[in-house]
């Protein structure tokens, strides 16, 4: 039982490394969730990309297009098998698009699932292959914001989480 507890802890760490890496625009955090050469499914079924070719371009696209993102995971189910483990994680991702002369500030919401095939190599559980499935999406205008004096989060390594 201890082996599964340690495996689940490592798997959860990988899932959260990916979401932090995406939201803090940290390609190293994204890559750390995967074994070297680990594959991610692109926007088309059966089109896979190595994580090393995915991380920097996706971070650059997110940086250019959105002022903020937040990827939340829930309903995480991990099933172990003879080849490793399969983890299904529901993802709810928010993307804030800043306003420009053509459009007001908008919130893009994506709801879907990560289906991750994990392998244990050299006592390290990491993602070997990731599938992404969409359930629904929504785009809405941000007409009003909460009145606040909150300190904005940083989308880089100046964020206190890297302290």
- Residue 151 lies inside a defined structural domain of this protein: no
Number of domains in the chain: 1
Statement: residue 23 has pLDDT above 70: yes
* CATH number, domain with residue 87: 3.10.450.50
- CA–CA separation, 68 and 24 (whole Å): 9
pLDDT of 44 reads 66
At residue 16 the predicted structure's pLDDT band, cuts being 50, 70 and 90, is very high
At residue 43 the predicted structure's pLDDT band, cuts being 50, 70 and 90, is low
- Residue 153 lies inside a defined structural domain of this protein: no
pLDDT of 153 reads 86
What percent of the chain clears pLDDT 90, i.e. is strictly above it?
Answer: 80
Statement: residue 47 has pLDDT above 90: no
- Residue 150 lies inside a defined structural domain of this protein: no
- For the chain, the farthest-separated pair of C-alpha atoms sits apart, in whole angstroms, at 58
What are the structure tokens assigned to 102, written together?
């053509």
- Residue 33 lies inside a defined structural domain of this protein: yes
Statement: residue 1 has pLDDT above 90: no
- Residue 16 lies inside a defined structural domain of this protein: yes
- Residue 14 lies inside a defined structural domain of this protein: yes
Helix, coil or strand: residue 142: coil
**pLDDT, the chain, mean:** 94
The candidate with the shortest Cα–Cα distance to 78, out of 51, 48, 118, is 118
DSSP secondary structure letters along 61-100: HHHHH-SEEEEEEEEEEEEEETTEEEEEEEEEEEEEEPP-
Domain that residue 55 falls in: 2-145
Q: Which residues contact 157 (CB under 8 A, 6 or more apart)?
A: 24, 26
Statement: residue 147 has pLDDT above 70: yes
- Residue 154 lies inside a defined structural domain of this protein: no
60-114 pLDDT, tens per residue?
999 999 999 999 999 999 999 999 999 999 999 999 999 998 889 999 999 999 9
The DSSP bridge partners found for residue 41 are 48
**Cβ distance 107 to 80 under 8 Å?**
no
What are the structure tokens assigned to 32, written together?
């750390």
At residue 51 the predicted structure's pLDDT band, cuts being 50, 70 and 90, is very high
């Amino acid at each position: 039982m201890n082996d599964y507890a340690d495996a689940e802890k490592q798997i959860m760490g990988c899932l959260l490394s990916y979401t932090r890496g995406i939201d803090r625009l940290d390609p190293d955090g994204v890559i750390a969730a995967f074994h070297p050469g680990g594959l991610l499914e692109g926007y088309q079924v059966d089109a896979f990309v190595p994580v090393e070719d995915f991380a920097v371009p996706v971070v650059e696209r997110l940086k250019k297009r959105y002022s903020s993102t937040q990827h939340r995971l829930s309903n995480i189910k991990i099933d172990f098998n003879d080849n490793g483990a399969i983890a299904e994680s529901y993802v709810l991702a928010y993307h804030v698009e800043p306003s420009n002369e053509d459009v007001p500030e908008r919130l893009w919401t994506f709801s879907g699932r990560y289906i991750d095939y994990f392998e244990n190599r050299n006592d390290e559980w990491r993602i070997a292959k990731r599938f992404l499935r969409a359930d629904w999406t929504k785009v809405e205008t941000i007409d009003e914001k909460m009145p606040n004096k909150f300190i904005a989060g940083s989308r880089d390594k100046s964020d206190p989480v890297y302290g």
